[in-house]
Amino acid sequence: MQKSGIRADDTRYLALAGRQLFSVIFIIASAGHFTAGTVASAMQHGVPMASMLVPVSGLIALAGGLSLLFGYRAKLGAWLLVLFLVPVTLTMHNFWAETNPMMFQIQLTMFVRNLMLIGGALLIAYVGAGELSLDAYMERPVVELECAA
C-alpha cells in the first residue's frame, strides 16, 4: 500500500511537466531580447556592448529553454540558463542600487525570482531531463532484429 496518491511509475510525468513548465519563461522571455527597448534598458543599467550582448543572451535563453522543453541535452541546457541568469540577475535586478522604494521592491522581487530560477536550473543540471525526454530516448540500447533468411 502506498502512502501517497502518486505511483512510482507516474513520477516520470511530474518530471516531464516540471521541466517543460520551467522552460516556458525562458522561451517566451527570449523574444524580448531582440527589441530596442530591452537593449535600451540594459544600456541604462550599464551593460557594456548591450546592443550585442542582449540579443546573444536572448539566444542563450532560447537555446536553454528549448533544450529543457524537449529534454535534449538538458544538463547542458540547464547550465546555459545558469550562464544566462547569473549576469542578468546581478546587472538588471540590482535592487541595492535603487533609491525609489517601489523600484527597490520590484527589483528585489525580480532578483529573488531569478535566484529561484537559478536553483531550478541547477537541479536540472544535476538530475537531468528525466525518463520522458530525448536524452533518455537516445540513451536506450539499440535492439537489433535478426532477419530470417
With respect to residue 64, please indicate whether it lies within any of the assigned structural domains.
yes
pLDDT at residue 2, as a whole number: 52
Write the pLDDT tens digit of every residue in 65-74.
999 999 999 9
Range of the domain at 64: 11-139
With respect to residue 72, please indicate whether it lies within any of the assigned structural domains.
yes
pLDDT at residue 25, as a whole number: 96
With respect to residue 65, please indicate whether it lies within any of the assigned structural domains.
yes
pLDDT at residue 98, as a whole number: 94
7: left (phi over 0), alpha (psi -120 to 50) or beta: beta
With respect to residue 3, please indicate whether it lies within any of the assigned structural domains.
no
pLDDT at residue 3, as a whole number: 60
* 101-127 helix and 11-31 helix, angle to the nearest 10 degrees: 130
pLDDT at residue 21, as a whole number: 97
pLDDT at residue 57, as a whole number: 96
pTM for the full predicted model: 0.84
Report d(CA 38, CA 94) in Å as an integer. 16
With respect to residue 148, please indicate whether it lies within any of the assigned structural domains.
no
- Say if CB 19 and CB 68 are below 8 A apart: yes
pLDDT at residue 5, as a whole number: 64
- Number of independent structural domains in the chain: 1
| Residues in the chain where the model's pLDDT stays below 50 | 1
Count of other CB atoms within 10 angstroms of residue 2: 7
3-state secondary structure of 99: coil
With respect to residue 6, please indicate whether it lies within any of the assigned structural domains.
no
With respect to residue 47, please indicate whether it lies within any of the assigned structural domains.
yes
With respect to residue 4, please indicate whether it lies within any of the assigned structural domains.
no
